[in-house]
Amino acid sequence: MGITTIFNNGVLGLTAQNRALGTISNNIANASTSGFKASETQFSDFVLSDRTGNKDPGNGVRAFERLDHSGGTVTRTDITTNAAIVGNGFFLVQDLDAQAGTTATTTRTSDDSVFLTRSGDFSPDKEGRLVNGAGKALMGFKLDPASGTGSFGSLSSMTPVSLSGLQDYREASTQASLNLNLPYDQEPVTGQITTANTTGVVLNMVDKNGADGAMALRFLKTGQAEDGTSTWQVFNAGVIGADGKPVGNGNVNDPTTWQSLGTLNFARNGTLTGGATGAPVTLTLNPGGDFAQTTLDLGSYGKMSNSITTIAGMDLGIVQGNNGIRAGTYQGAELTADGFVAANFQGGKQRYIYRIPDATVVNPTDLESVSGTMFRTTANSGAIRLNSFGNLTNETGTSAPKTVGASLNTASVEGSNVKIEEQFTTLIQAQRTYSAASKLVSTADEMTTTTITLKS
């Protein structure tokens, strides 16, 4: 090994340790960056062959980085659009055009146009897009809010998640529920029907314009048998629209205008009878006007809880509900543990508007690091695979592959996986190795000087 080789080894050692020190400094600087993944500098020696094929291992060192994809500490933020991935995988994000609020790329979404990240500190920007701290837009599959269904397809069918327009979102009532206890001691009516000998309930509804309305229901006891069973008839006694005016010809004060909706039979114990125990009891409502056809849920056969009953001495009050969403009742959005973006509305109503996939690759350590929090696929990492988050129980209308075991820790973010104590240990080692390499350079320089001096 000649003086030149010693000199070169020293210089290469300085270069390699300088790169290691740069990596360590970057790791330490990002110890508090959400979703940051530390890099580790690894080394290998240069092995060259001469013209005869003999190996010469004494030719210095080279440095390269490997990503550490272990999980960081999960911290709760209580921001409903934040989420941390528990398990393997990444969120898919894309650049946004700052002025237009759309994805900057004009090509179809592909492995080359999206980034993978674990940085889940998403919040709405001025355009309503969910973006993380790096300004990248969260990508997902858009769903039909009314049904919660949509295609779990390929990268090309993904779009930026947007909360824009939800304040004006509305849905007409198509399902309603009603639970009450009809008076057990009410006498059967055999003569003229009046408001006095019937029991009335006002059922709230929402029309197609997102406005409130109501249907008046009247319950008429038509029979009482000696064994304690009874029969009741249900009437639509009139519908009131959002403008306060009647819809149709029904008049709650005029029984001759009431429309029969069906008959209910009750057992001796006051529960609904006529079907298998536990089977649902429903009536179909056709309010007319701007209202949609609605299925009214009255409970279950043979069940006292959450059902219409006629039990002596009980006054459970009236419990009702409907699935309509009034315009202007949007209260915010959240990411769910199984990977949905849900819009929340007044009254505890929730609609799924996007589905977020769990993006995985075969070899994440060979992803290209675009920044400490964003990565891009390479030939060695493998292509992006889309999976479901969580243990989903309802896959109706979707074609999502099975989950890989990852889920979302909601209202939380994953912090950096940098371990400060390990970084300082590595820093000391790199510093000492750098000093030793510099000693090689100075020694080679002294040897060269001595050789030159010999000549004189």
- The full set of domain ranges for the chain reads 3-70+420-455, 73-169+348-415, 175-322
Averaged pLDDT, 47-69: 66
User: Has residue 6 got a pLDDT over 90?
Assistant: no
Q: Of the ranges 29-43, 323-337, 341-355, 395-409, which one carries the lowest mean pLDDT score?
A: 395-409
For the chain, give the secondary structure using H, E and C: CCHHHHHHHHHHHHHHHHHHHHHHHHHHHCCCCCCCCCEEEEEEECCEECCCCCEECCCCEEEEEEECCCCCCEEECCCCCCEEEECCCEEEEECECCCCCCECCCCCCCCCCCEEECCCCCEECCCCEEECCCCCEEEEEECECCCCECCCCCHHHCEECECCCHHHCCECCCEEEEECECCCCCCCCCCCCCCCCCEEEEEEEECCCCCEEEEEEEEEEEEECCCCCEEEEEEEEEEECCCCCEECCCCCCCHHHCEEEEEEEECCCCCEECCCCCCEEEEEECCCCCCCCEEEEEEECCCCCCCCECCCCCCCCCEEEECCECCCCEEEEEECCCCEEEEEECCCEEEEEEECCEEECCCHHHCEECCCCEEECCCCCCCCEEECCCCCCCCCCCCCCCCCCCEEEECEEECCCCCHHHHHHHHHHHHHHHHHHHHHHHHHHHHHHHHHHHHC
> What is the residue-averaged pLDDT of the chain?
86
pLDDT of residue 47: 63
Q: Which CATH number describes the domain made up of 175-322?
A: 2.60.98.20
Q: Of the ranges 19-23, 105-109, 136-140, which one carries the lowest mean pLDDT score?
A: 105-109
Over pLDDT 70: what percentage of the chain?
89
User: Has residue 246 got a pLDDT over 70?
Assistant: yes
For residue 390, name the pLDDT band (cuts at 50, 70, 90). Answer: confident
- 265-279 pLDDT tens trace: 999 999 999 999 999
Averaged pLDDT, 179-198: 93
User: Has residue 8 got a pLDDT over 80?
Assistant: no
